A and B are shown apart, each in its own frame.
Chain A
Amino acid sequence: MKRYELIIIGAGPAGLSAAIEAASNGMQVMVFDENERPGGQLFKQIHKFFGSKEHKAKERGFRIGEKLLKEAEGLGVEVQLKAAVMGIFDDKEISVMLDGRVEHYRANNIVIATGASEKMLPFPGWTLPGVIGAGAAQTMMNLHGLKPGSRVLMVGSGNVGLVVGYQLLQAGCKLEAVIDAAPRVGGYGVHAAKLARTGVPFYMSHTIKEAHGDSCVKGAAILAVDSSWQPIPGSEKYLEVDTICMAVGLSPMSQLARTAHCEMENNPLKGGLVSICNKYGETSTPGVYAVGDVAGIEEASSAMIQGRIAGAAISFDKGYINEAEFATRYEEYQNSLMQLREGMFGHKDKEAADMEHTEEGYILSQSLLSKGYMDAEEIEEYPGVYPVEQRGKGVFPVIECTQNIPCNPCQDACKRGCIKVSGKITNLPSVDASVECTACGMCVVSCPGQAIFLVDETLAPGYASVAIPYEFYPLPEPGSKGLALDRSGTSLGEAEVLKVKSSKAMDETAVLTMKVPVEWSMQARFFQVY
């Protein structure tokens, strides 16, 4: 039986990060993953990540995956793919199904980083072809280049539903609606706004009643629910869709932790059944750690840091780093993790969060929470919106970032220092009107929430230009005409494309500048090709 110093189960963001940390300290590491490709869910994530520079913010998920993999390989980490771990036994023995046979290994330490699976919601018709998990839709589109369907209903308004919804639009699907039984949009407002301004309707306090169709989905009936989740008679709506995407949460894949006799708890805040871990991720079974989604559902960014912490703790435990070194690293990683858990969507505050005000005291847009977009009147209140009296001088940025989320790439994007996220990483960005904007557009493309726009009300008499982030192919040609849509996706009227800027540094987010009548300057936020 082959023995390793450290065996990691799962080559996703958490597992690879634990491997990198341990291997960089000199440990001999083996990673098993049942999939054909490493990287876990990262390789499906084509959107730019939130966070700070240290969290690899504004990088697209799959590129983060590529970097992690390269780093792990460079450090001599062995990654064995198509290797399904069957169980963890006494004395940290594990059995692995590999090449059609069962192999046994033993480790001094084990890190369980098996991730999560998608939750499902049973309703009449849920077993029809066409009802799929949002993650499955993402796999089809982003790994295999297949459109899951033509007309899609997204069930669930958390970040998974919103992000996958946007990717469905990018793949050319029509998103007929996003529904959620909760009264408020569950994910980041900026993600919701990206969908809403293309015209996707949000039905909050709505649930799916049934899927229609004999051999595949032909439609879906949805209905409104009251505050105690009871259906409201007569509220039924019928949507003609061929695909129903379920984004109703993730559940930790904790079977292996249970075979290792780890003490478990049912924690709804963590997504279900998880092993009880200490602050380093160690379970009640000594030497066995659990990190990433299997230890509690969070974002990939948090999973990477948890992996780092476990890797460092194991390295210290086995004498590869000394106590002082471990203390320094732990503090650094822990601070970084805490930053990501701040804010109204944070790990801890999810239940207790104030849904009326930001931490700084700005009023939270209730329209954004209930409809997915902000009303035009609300936007002027926020610190990222350039003051009205200064707007006659030329181009100015409008940052429609109005909720406390852990993200700050915008402040580094502006070389002139016009944008600041002072204090906590979750604070709203503010613009400094004394700094002249050069309209370089880097803030527009660096915002993972696509919430920054550049407006020039002095373009020509009666006309303004509005520059928006744009990620749909083919890119419109300068001079072409289309419709300017407002935040709700309602057409304001015709707009002309002035220019479309795209470069390697912008990483596939183009800046599209359109010419609109000046009275639409604070309303036009999307360009729809005719």
Chain B
Amino acid sequence: MTMKMERKLIQGDFIPRADDELIVCRCEEITQGEIRKAVYDGMFTMNEVKRYLRAGMGLCQGQTCSGLVQKIIARELGLAPGEVEISTSRSPARPIQMKQMARDGVKK
């Protein structure tokens, strides 16, 4: 299945804001400026910003920052926060060590 998404980049130049240095995703140390820039680069959904920057991919798995990231994307796009597509939720919902994952299905 191939699906090509039609979208236009935001018109105009990226204008830095005074508070762009603010860290939004604490786990991965992603700033507001980086997220805003990502939107200008064409990342319009939570999944896209997550894959582009790793915001929400750290220890808390976006529990703290996803609402904040959603608000920033919405503001840049002129949408209500609820209109920004949220990222996929999938197992594992908690951080897990690779060796534990590898032991899945192995008898005790």
- State whether these chains interact: yes
Chain A residues with CB under 8 Å of chain B are: 34, 84-89, 95, 97, 100-102, 117-120, 122-124, 126-127, 251, 253-256, 258-259, 266, 272-273
Query: Which of A97, A102, A126, A272 interacts with B67 by CB under 8 Å?
Result: A272
Q: In the complex, which residues of chain A have a beta carbon less than 8 angstroms from the beta carbon of B47? A: none
User: Are A86 and B103 in contact, with the CB atoms below 8 A?
Assistant: no
- Contact: A100 with B100, CB < 8 Å? yes
Report Cα–Cα, A254/B32, bound state, in Å.
25
**Tier of interface size on chain B:** 20 to 34
Q: Are A122 and B100 also in contact (CB < 8 A) when A97-B92, A97-B94, A117-B63 are? A: no
Q: Which residue of A lies closest to B104 (CB)?
A: A102
Of B6-14, B21-29, B37-45, the one touching chain A: B21-29
Q: Is B79 located at the chain interface by the 8 A CB criterion? A: no
A120 vs B23: C-alpha distance in the bound complex, in angstroms? Answer: 12
A101-B104, A102-B101, A259-B90 known; A122+B96 contact, CB < 8 A: no
Give the docked Cα–Cα distance between A338 and B103 (Å): 47
A86 touches B94 (CB 8 A): yes
- Across the interface, B100 reaches (CB within 8 A) one of A97, A117, A258, A272, namely A97
Q: Are B26 and A127 in contact (CB under 8 A)?
A: yes
B residues less than 8 Å from A102 (CB atoms): 96, 100-101, 103-105
Rounded to whole Å, the gap between the CB of B69 and the closest CB of chain A is 10
CB–CB A259/B101 < 8 A: no
Please report B residues at the A interface, Cβ cutoff 8 Å.
19, 21-24, 26, 32, 60-61, 63-65, 67-68, 81-82, 86, 88-94, 96-97, 99-101, 103-106, 108
Q: How far is the CB of A376 from chain B (nearest CB, A)?
A: 42
Asked whether, in the complex, the Cβ of A87 is within 8 Å of the Cβ of B93, the reply is yes
Taken together as a complex, chains A and B put the C-alpha atoms of A251 and B32 apart, in Å, by: 21
Q: How far is the CB of B64 from chain A (nearest CB, A)?
A: 5
- Chain A, Cβ-Cβ closest to B24: A122
- Which residues of A are found within 8 Å of B68, using beta-carbon distances? 120, 122
Q: Determine the distance from Cα of A97 to Cα of B100 in the docked complex, in whole angstroms.
A: 8
CA distance A353 to B68 in the complex (A): 28
By a CB distance below 8 angstroms, the chain A residues around B61 are: 255
26 contacts between A and B (CB under 8 A): A34-B94, A85-B93, A86-B91, A86-B92, A86-B93, A87-B92, A89-B91, A100-B103, A101-B103, A102-B96, A102-B103, A102-B105, A117-B64, A120-B65, A120-B68, A127-B23, A127-B26, A255-B63, A256-B93, A258-B88, A258-B89, A259-B91, A259-B93, A266-B82, A272-B67, A273-B86
How many residue pairs, one in A and one in B, have C-beta atoms under 8 Å apart? 81
User: Is there an interface contact between B94 and A101, defined as CB atoms closer than 8 Å?
Assistant: no
- Shortest Cβ distance from A34 into B: residue: B94
Chain B residue nearest to A121 (CB atoms) is B68
Contact residues in B for A251 (Cβ distance below 8 Å): 63, 67
Given contacts A87-B90, A88-B91, A95-B92, 18 further A-B contacts (CB under 8 A): A84-B93, A84-B94, A85-B94, A86-B96, A87-B92, A97-B96, A101-B100, A101-B104, A102-B96, A102-B100, A117-B60, A117-B64, A118-B64, A122-B22, A123-B22, A124-B22, A127-B26, A258-B89
A122 touches B23 (CB 8 A): yes
Q: Tell me the nearest residue of chain A to B18, going by C-beta.
A: A124
A272 to B70, CA, bound (A): 12
Report the Cα distance A447→B61, complex, angstroms: 41
Docked-complex contact A253 and B63, CB < 8 angstroms: yes
Which residues of chain A have C-beta atoms less than 8 A from B60's C-beta? 117
Kindly state the separation between the CA atoms of A97 and B64 in the bound complex, as whole angstroms. Answer: 22
Known: A102-B100, A102-B103, A127-B23. A87 touches B82 (CB 8 A): no
In the assembled complex, the Cα of A34 lies from the Cα of B93 at a distance in Å of 12
Q: Which residues of A contact B96 (CB under 8 A)?
A: 84, 86, 97, 102
Q: Which residues of A contact B67 (CB under 8 A)?
A: 119, 251, 272
The verdict on A95 contacting B23 (CB below 8 Å), with A120-B64, A251-B67, A272-B67 known, is no
Complex Cα–Cα for A355 and B81 (A): 28
Chain A residue nearest to B60 (CB atoms) is: A117
A345–B19 CA distance with the chains assembled, in angstroms:
35
Q: Which residues of A contact B99 (CB under 8 A)?
A: 100
B23 close to A259 (CB less than 8 A): no
Distance in angstroms between the alpha carbons of A122 and B21 in the assembled complex: 11
B7 CB, min distance to chain A CBs, angstroms? 22
CA distance A256 to B61 in the complex (A): 12
* Neighbouring B residues of A101 by C-beta, 8 Å: 100, 103-104, 106, 108
Smallest beta-carbon distance A52→chain B, Å = 34
Q: Which of A101, A251, A272 has the most C-beta atoms of chain B within 10 angstroms of its own C-beta?
A: A101
